[in-house]
């Protein structure tokens, strides 16, 4: 694969990073905890917006804090960067207690959704600002600016003003300004929210590349599930002021711990019911469904629960065969795939993903849906 020229210039003949920004950050990639939150909580009067929370992030990780509005993710970020003081708990960075340390004394870089660039300063001057605040010698300052701009591919634009840049270029300036002084932690608060879909996807690749090249520890806050799946080493999924699940994108997508996680991450088909007397089947409004043998230890007779099946694991066929009978109520063409929505007799709607070239039924067609039993997941409700 051809490597962009601005990346090639960052490497020595041996292939190692040659600049003095990436090397110190990459050296921090290790197994020890970069950030440790122990029992951190926040209460405003009688309202607890963040329940006692334990969060451990290793050096060099890119962790996404994900959740709906009001889930507590912004409060957690504000506590980490020192803008809000916790009601209880302890926050450590590199093993040092930072719970009461003011925001301006915490070694953190922040990238905001609105970029927060100085409009009257050039690209180079914007990147130089945090170094000037740290009173770096002029020669060292210029070298670091040049390296940071090279890293994000903006060397030719150093003399331009923010108004002369596209949204994606402005976001790259914000990234360079954050990386240039090698903070212990980089916090990104929905930094791609103002960009269109195509540019968001391009910037996601850019952030993944910069993370890989620098080894920086990044906490990325978003409400976009696809963005979290695409970017993260691990996802911290929050709801109602607590962490619902903390794991890799694959763990959270394939093995959700509860119905909120299953429903929030991606598209899930949830079929609710009650475990039958034998414990091996879930009795639903659409019939008895087999509970995967590996999950029957969690399925006690008489217990409420649900089967979760991802759309890509569901098959659809013309009516008359084995499976749950239903009627196609909508089809959505999305290029590489077609989503087929099937209404069952109970009114439950099942989403099916069909790859390009596969047969897709017409709206109004009578069909049956099936899935392999081991592709379903049983969750207690």
| d(C-alpha 227, C-alpha 314), whole Å | 24
Pick from 58-72, 141-155, 340-354, 366-380: least confident: 141-155
Give yes or no: residues 190 and 212 share one domain: yes
Q: Residue 114 is part of a domain; what is its CATH number?
A: 3.40.50.300
Any domain includes 261 = no
Q: Residue 320 is part of a domain; what is its CATH number?
A: 2.40.50.140
Pick from 90-99, 132-141, 265-274, 367-376: least confident: 132-141
- pLDDT value of residue 20: 54
Q: Which residue, of 254, 284, 314, is where some domain finishes?
A: 254
Give yes or no: residues 184 and 239 share one domain: yes
Q: Which residue, of 224, 254, 284, is where some domain finishes?
A: 254
Residue closest to 141 by CA, chosen among 180, 182, 183: 180
Any domain includes 259 = no
Any domain includes 263 = no
Overall average pLDDT of the 281-298 stretch: 91
Q: Which residue, of 254, 285, 320, is where some domain finishes?
A: 254
Phi, psi dihedral angles at 254 (to 5 degrees)? -85, -25
Considering the chain, what is the average pLDDT of its residues? 87
Give yes or no: residues 44 and 115 share one domain: yes
- pLDDT value of residue 198: 84
Question: How does residue 346 score in pLDDT terms, banded at 50, 70 and 90?
Answer: very high
Give yes or no: residues 23 and 129 share one domain: yes
154 contacts 177 by C-beta, under 8 angstroms? no
Any domain includes 342 = yes
Give yes or no: residues 246 and 317 share one domain: no
Q: Can you give the residue range of the structural domain that contains 299?
A: 268-380
- pLDDT value of residue 11: 32
Give yes or no: residues 299 and 358 share one domain: yes
**Which residues is 355 bridged to in the sheet?**
337
Question: CA of 331: how far to CAs of 41, 132, 301, 336, in Å?
Answer: 45, 57, 37, 14
Give yes or no: residues 222 and 354 share one domain: no
Any domain includes 260 = no
Give yes or no: residues 203 and 321 share one domain: no
Give yes or no: residues 238 and 306 share one domain: no
DSSP state of 17: B
Higher-scoring residue by pLDDT: 327, 174 = 327
Tens of pLDDT, residues 12-61: 333 333 345 554 444 444 447 899 999 999 999 999 999 999 999 999 99
220 contacts 231 by C-beta, under 8 angstroms? yes
Any domain includes 160 = yes
Tens of pLDDT, residues 201-243: 888 888 898 888 888 899 999 988 999 999 999 999 999 999 9
Give yes or no: residues 337 and 249 share one domain: no
Give yes or no: residues 222 and 370 share one domain: no
Q: Is 174 in a helix, a strand, or coil?
A: helix
Q: Is 10 a residue whose pLDDT tops 60? A: no
Give 76's contacts (C-beta < 8 A, 6+ positions apart): 37, 40, 50, 53, 55, 65, 238
Looking at the chain, the whole-number percentage of residues with pLDDT higher than 70 is: 92
| d(C-alpha 8, C-alpha 19), whole Å | 12
Any domain includes 354 = yes
Higher-scoring residue by pLDDT: 29, 88 = 88
Give yes or no: residues 50 and 148 share one domain: yes
Length of the chain, in residues: 381
Overall average pLDDT of the 135-142 stretch: 83
Overall average pLDDT of the 172-182 stretch: 86
| d(C-alpha 283, C-alpha 280), whole Å | 10
- pLDDT value of residue 237: 97
Domain tally for the chain? 2
Which helix (H) or strand (E) is 129 found in, with range? helix 123-133
């Amino acid at each position: 694969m051809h490597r962009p020229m601005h990346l090639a210039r960052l490497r020595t003949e041996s292939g190692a990073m040659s600049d003095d920004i990436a090397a110190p950050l990459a050296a921090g990639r290790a197994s020890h905890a970069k950030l440790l939150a122990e029992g951190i909580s926040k209460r405003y009067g009688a309202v607890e917006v963040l329940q006692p929370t334990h969060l451990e992030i290793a050096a060099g990780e890119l962790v996404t804090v994900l959740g709906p509005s009001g889930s507590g993710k912004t409060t957690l970020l504000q506590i980490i960067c020192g803008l809000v003081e916790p009601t209880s708990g302890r926050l450590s960075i590199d093993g040092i207690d930072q719970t009461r340390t003011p925001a301006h004394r915490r070694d953190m870089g922040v990238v905001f959704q609105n970029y927060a660039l100085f409009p009257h300063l050039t690209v180079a001057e914007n990147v130089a600002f945090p170094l000037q605040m740290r009173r770096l010698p002029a020669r060292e300052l210029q070298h670091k600016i040049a390296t940071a701009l090279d890293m994000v591919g903006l060397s030719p634009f150093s003399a331009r003003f923010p108004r002369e840049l596209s949204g994606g270029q402005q976001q790259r300036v914000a990234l360079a300004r954050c990386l240039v002084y090698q903070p212990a932690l980089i916090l990104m608060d929905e930094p791609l929210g103002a960009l269109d879909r195509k540019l968001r996807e391009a910037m996601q690749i850019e952030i993944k590349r910069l993370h890989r090249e620098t080894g920086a520890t990044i906490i990325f806050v978003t409400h976009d599930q696809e963005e979290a799946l695409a970017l993260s080493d691990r996802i911290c999924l929050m709801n109602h002021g607590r962490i619902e699940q903390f794991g890799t994108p694959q763990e959270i997508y394939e093995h959700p711990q509860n119905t909120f996680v299953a429903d929030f991450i991606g598209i899930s088909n949830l079929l609710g019911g009650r475990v039958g007397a034998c414990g091996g089947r879930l009795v639903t409004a659409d019939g008895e469904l087999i509970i995967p043998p590996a999950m029957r230890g969690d399925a006690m007779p008489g217990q409420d629960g649900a089967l979760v099946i991802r759309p890509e694991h569901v098959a659809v066929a013309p009516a008359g065969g084995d499976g749950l009978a239903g009627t196609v109520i909508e089809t959505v063409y999305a290029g590489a795939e077609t989503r087929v929505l099937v209404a069952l007799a109970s009114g439950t709607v099942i989403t099916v993903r069909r790859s390009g070239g596969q047969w897709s039924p017409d709206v109004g067609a009578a069909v049956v849906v099936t899935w392999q039993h081991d592709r379903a997941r049983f969750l207690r409700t």
